Structure 1
Amino acid sequence: MSSQRSFIASMSLNGMWPSLDSATKAALANLLAGANPNEIPQAVLTAAQEKDSALLAGIAAYRRHPWVREMPDPPEIWREGDSCIRDFGGGGTALLFVPSLVNRATILDLAPGRSMMRFFAQSGRRTLLLDWGWPGPVERGFGLAQYIARLDRAIAAQPAPVILIGYCMGGLLALAAAHQAPARIAGLGVLATPWDFHAGAPGRAAAIAQLLPLLEPVMELTGTLPIDGLQTLFTLLDPFGVGDKYRRFATLDQASARAAGFVAVEDWLNDGIPLAAPVVREVLGEWYGENRPARGEWRIAGRAIEPEGLRLPSFVAIPLRDRIVPPESAEPLVVALQGATVIRPAAGHVGMVAGTGAASALWRPLLEWVQRLDKS
């Protein structure tokens, strides 16, 4: 069997062709394993070709869709380098949202009716969004400790303690910042945040960590992992999800709100930003490779980041359909953050924060938790 066929044969046919029946999948598995193609029924090959046609139709439909994001940026109230805090208004204890360093902060302010930030501001809550910005000459030398120090300074610039809410990788940064100055944190929220990087599909974390030597040459040249490299990493986290979502998109009414929502998310994904090389080395090597957070060995400024040591009101959101952060990876935070309010919505990684059902899945439960903090 060729190495290419070995690789393809190891993939999940449930992910590649989820709508095919079990007999068809078995026949395809035989083909991929090197069986005589003449022994494969024509219906099987036709079904696979139809899948590819649907994928191409979905990509073409996305490319010609007219939707364009038109959301004015709210005013800045703090800036350091290319990072800033945007103020969406509202009153009371400020909610400071911390997105991932990967992709743009606009996923939390995606489109009308799909903006988590505007939902909270319109609910009367002071809503602040940390936008990490594009890594310039200074930020290209940043590791996680330097980004967390910048977050510390952003928090210190606020006139009163904030409720700190981190999304995805931003949740780990928020946890670390809460360790540095818990007196400045009125509450802590972690949304779709990984902790045990070896949880989930066997071998996935090791495969991601093993990419690091392959990425080093380009990082040496640019000081960053370029956008195309990040897209490759996301594809590896959910290798069949990319094709599936475009196939589904091809079946939508292209004039519908659902189609526009799909395009909004895809535009956000494709409008990425590079990631500083030192961060890539830490994330792939120390998080995915060595699993330092779950082992209690992740240290920032010489201090171990141990969620169980925090004594803060906490909120944990674990989307059960998350393919980027497997629910098993986030579950240890439920135990570590003692007494946390926990929700497990039937949503995906992005859908939980910006999908059509995000208000019921996350926004309203999070708002209710914040309102309870006011009364405690």
Structure 2
Amino acid sequence: MLRRGPRPLPFHLGLSTMRAMAATLSLPQGERAKQPCWSASPPWNSAWPLSKSGQAEAKRIAQALSATGQPPEALAAAVRRRLVAEHGALLAGIRAYRAAEIPAALEPMPCLWHAGSSRVTDYVGAGPTALFVPSLINRAHILDLAPGQSMLRHLAGQGMRPLLLDWGVPGDAERGFTLTDYTLRLAAALEALPGPVVLVGYCMGGLIALAAAQHRPERVAALALLATPWDFAATLAAGQATARLLALLEPILALEDVLPVDAIQLLFAVNEPFGVGEKYRAFAGLDPRTPRAAAFVAMEDWLNDGVPLAAAVARECLGGWYGENTPMRGLWRVAGQAVRPQDWRGPAFLAIPHRDRIVPPASALALASLMPGATVHEAAAGHVGMVAGTKAEAALWTPLAEWIAGLHPLPL
């Protein structure tokens, strides 16, 4: 297996290099002058750092060096050693990840229904049926990741019959899909299943699940939304920055009919640019034989094996959701109908992870204000860790199973 991650690799390596250059340029001028020509401050940047706090910190460092009798060159040498060590740790982490053993394959599950590139698989449990709807931009198997990291197999052993809607990679038909088309495909899957089900949407899949529940309420016995965004202005600066990238991405969308995987990964990296470097440097220090290392590898394999997004859907998400906050403003329409959480009358469960850096808790909590009868579960986890992390059983799997078990009556 040839691993390509972390994706996009040139971006993450370039960012590490620019970070090192910025740190070098932050040294007091006398110390920068002794650096190699490639790291010296150009004339237009001779006042770096520009911020008052940065200038004050540079002055404090210079005074501390003077007070301890250290030569000015000592700071530059220490910074240089630290930068070399951190960049080396990043490269070591990437090499260790790429050399890691391929995680054990899980037994494939039977297919119940399919249409186009999408299919529903059955995890063959005994109990209430729950259809899980993941995001469109990542592989569905985040909910069935690896031994000990499979939410669906765990729930199948807890008195439930989980089903998984795998959207698949957009084919010729799906490349022209809108969010309405994907919602109608989910509605078709619901129609094909026997009896109403518990509909469980994760992240972006939660918005589609909500729209489908409104479109076919008679096919949905209860609704669970996991880390589902609603108020895209909850982090205004990040949302606007993401929306502004649409104009830059438009030539790619027009040419390819999809938003490619590396472009999607870049959107996430822009909101947390140094996160990938931090986690790979940490992975470099792990024993590869430990469960923690194995969990990291399984998660990264999933993350780096992404799915392109249909161009029209990308425009709706970036321009409508992030740019205009259409869900929160009541302007997001599916099949000509406004999607309104407050119109859902059945049981509802909202899982909101505390440490979510992808869907800020404030964005997901907006649903709680519109669905006052919903059970709100605040999970002690991050966005992905809540469904597939080492503590996911306590963070989400058990609370969700208990909520479903408490629904009466519920068709089997």
Question: Could you state the TM-score of these two structures normalised by the residue count of structure 1?
Answer: 0.89
How far 1:123 moved relative to its partner?
Answer: 1.4
Partner Cα distance (2:408, 2:123) in 1 = 20
Listed as ranges, the gaps of 5+ residues in structure 1 are 1-10
Q: 2:231 is paired with a residue of what secondary structure?
A: coil
Q: 1:220 is paired with a residue of what secondary structure?
A: helix
Contact 1:225 1:274 in 2 (8 A): yes
Q: Which of 72, 75, 81 lines up with 2:116 in the alignment?
A: 81
Q: Confirm or deny that 1:321 pairs with 2:355.
A: yes
Aligned to 1:181: 216
Q: Please, which moves more after superposition, 246-255 or 94-103?
A: 246-255
Mapping of 1:151-162 within 5 angstroms? 151-162=186-197
Mapping of 1:16-27 within 5 angstroms? none
Alignment-mate amino acid for residue 111 of structure 2: E
Partner Cα distance (1:313, 1:89) in 2 = 24
Mapping of 1:54-203 within 5 angstroms? 54-200=89-235, 202-203=236-237
Contact 1:93 1:161 in 2 (8 A): no
Partner Cα distance (1:152, 1:217) in 2 = 32
Listed as ranges, the gaps of 5+ residues in structure 2 are 1-14, 33-46, 63-71
Partner Cα distance (1:40, 1:145) in 2 = 61
1:230–1:69 CA distance, 2 compared to 1 (3 A): farther
Aligned to 1:227: 261
How far 1:50 moved relative to its partner?
Answer: 2.6
Partner Cα distance (2:74, 2:383) in 1 = 37
Q: Confirm or deny that 1:331 pairs with 2:360.
A: no
Partner Cα distance (1:73, 1:223) in 2 = 31
How far 1:222 moved relative to its partner?
Answer: 1.5
Partner Cα distance (1:331, 1:355) in 2 = 22
Moved over 3 A (4+): 30-40
Alignment-mate amino acid for residue 146 of structure 1: D
Aligned to 2:345: 311
Give the number of aligned pairs. Answer: 354
Contact 1:186 1:313 in 2 (8 A): yes
Contact 1:196 1:294 in 2 (8 A): yes
Contact 1:95 1:163 in 2 (8 A): yes
Contact 1:93 1:126 in 2 (8 A): yes
Aligned to 1:296: 330
Aligned to 1:4: none
Question: Could you state the TM-score of these two structures normalised by the residue count of structure 2?
Answer: 0.81
- Cα shift readout 1:272-304 (whole Å, capped 9, x = no counterpart): 111100000000000000000011111111111
Aligned to 1:44: 79
Alignment-mate amino acid for residue 222 of structure 2: G
Alignment-mate amino acid for residue 78 of structure 1: W
How far 1:46 moved relative to its partner?
Answer: 3.1
Q: 2:357 is paired with a residue of what secondary structure?
A: coil
Partner Cα distance (1:212, 1:39) in 2 = 45
Partner Cα distance (1:129, 1:309) in 2 = 26
- Residue identity over aligned pairs, in percent, reads 54
Partner Cα distance (1:32, 1:107) in 2 = 42
How far 1:219 moved relative to its partner?
Answer: 1.6
How far 1:39 moved relative to its partner?
Answer: 8.3
Partner Cα distance (1:108, 1:328) in 2 = 24
Contact 2:207 2:228 in 1 (8 A): yes
Q: 1:129 is paired with a residue of what secondary structure?
A: strand
Partner Cα distance (1:229, 1:79) in 2 = 28
Q: Which of 238, 246, 269 lines up with 2:303 in the alignment?
A: 269
Q: Please, which moves more after superposition, 143-152 or 339-348?
A: 339-348
Partner Cα distance (2:274, 2:86) in 1 = 12
How far 1:44 moved relative to its partner?
Answer: 3.5
Partner Cα distance (2:276, 2:96) in 1 = 15
Partner Cα distance (1:79, 1:72) in 2 = 19
Aligned to 1:366: 400
How far 1:41 moved relative to its partner?
Answer: 2.1
Partner Cα distance (2:399, 2:407) in 1 = 13
Aligned to 2:275: 241
Partner Cα distance (2:104, 2:263) in 1 = 25
